[in-house]
Amino acid sequence: MKRLLSLVFFSFVLGHSAHAAVIYSGLQNIAIPTTFDGVYINIDNAATSTSTITGWDINPFFGGAGIANSASFQPARTGTGNTDPVVNFSAGDLISGGLFYSSGFGGSGDPNSHLGAGVGQFAVGQEGYLGFRFSTDASSGPYYGWMRVIFTNDTAGGVIEDWSYDDSGAAISIPVAAAPEPGRAMFLLLGGCALCVRRLRRA
């Protein structure tokens, strides 16, 4: 039931955000290999490869313990250095130009790890959100977005689940998939679903 409510909420949010130029990848579930090669991902077209591809943006490896980024894709970090740790965000956080980004090619990992139990770190094996600023293959942008991930410390189970960005260049909030207090529109939507179910049962 919780998963169903989450999917309904995501559909509602994304459906009402379409006019705001929000681009959503759809569920991807890209496995992160435990090799140094990792997986190269192109945000524009969701292309992936275990070797370098044209237009790649991010390259997580060792299950997500290591992350490489291209010059066009800048993850939000703890500072402006290109090896400063990537920050873990939460649902509801705003990804904008007010965060720390680097420039050029960069990385995150040992010895400045983004994994751990500290504030802003990714807990091993648990879902988190990476914020980013990027430009498309056609050099349009920069755009701000989020990427939902599960990172491991060089073990199986690392996954890039999905991502979203606003192609108007505006800041973007990480959606709250399971809102504890749905707004009025959400109540109306759920009420309508319940009414349909009742009518189907009576028929």
Over residues 51-101, the pLDDT tens digits come to 999 999 999 999 999 999 999 999 999 999 999 999 999 999 999 999 999
For the stretch 86-96, pLDDT in tens is 999 999 999 99
Find all residues with CB under 8 Å of 155, minimum gap 6, and list them: 34, 63
Tokens 């790649």: give the residue: 56
pLDDT of residue 100: 98
Helix locations, the chain, DSSP H: 2-17, 184-202
d(CA 2, CA 154): 30
CB 42 within 8 A of CB 55: yes
**Average pLDDT of every residue of the chain:** 85
pTM for the whole thing? Answer: 0.78
For the stretch 149-168, pLDDT in tens is 999 999 999 999 999 999 99
Q: Which of 177, 101, 199 is nearest to 144 (CA)?
A: 101
CB 102 within 8 A of CB 74: yes
Tokens 């679903």: give the residue: 193
d(CA 91, CA 87): 13
pLDDT of residue 170: 97
Phi, psi of 191 (to 5 degrees): -65, -40
CB 107 within 8 A of CB 115: no
pLDDT of residue 201: 55
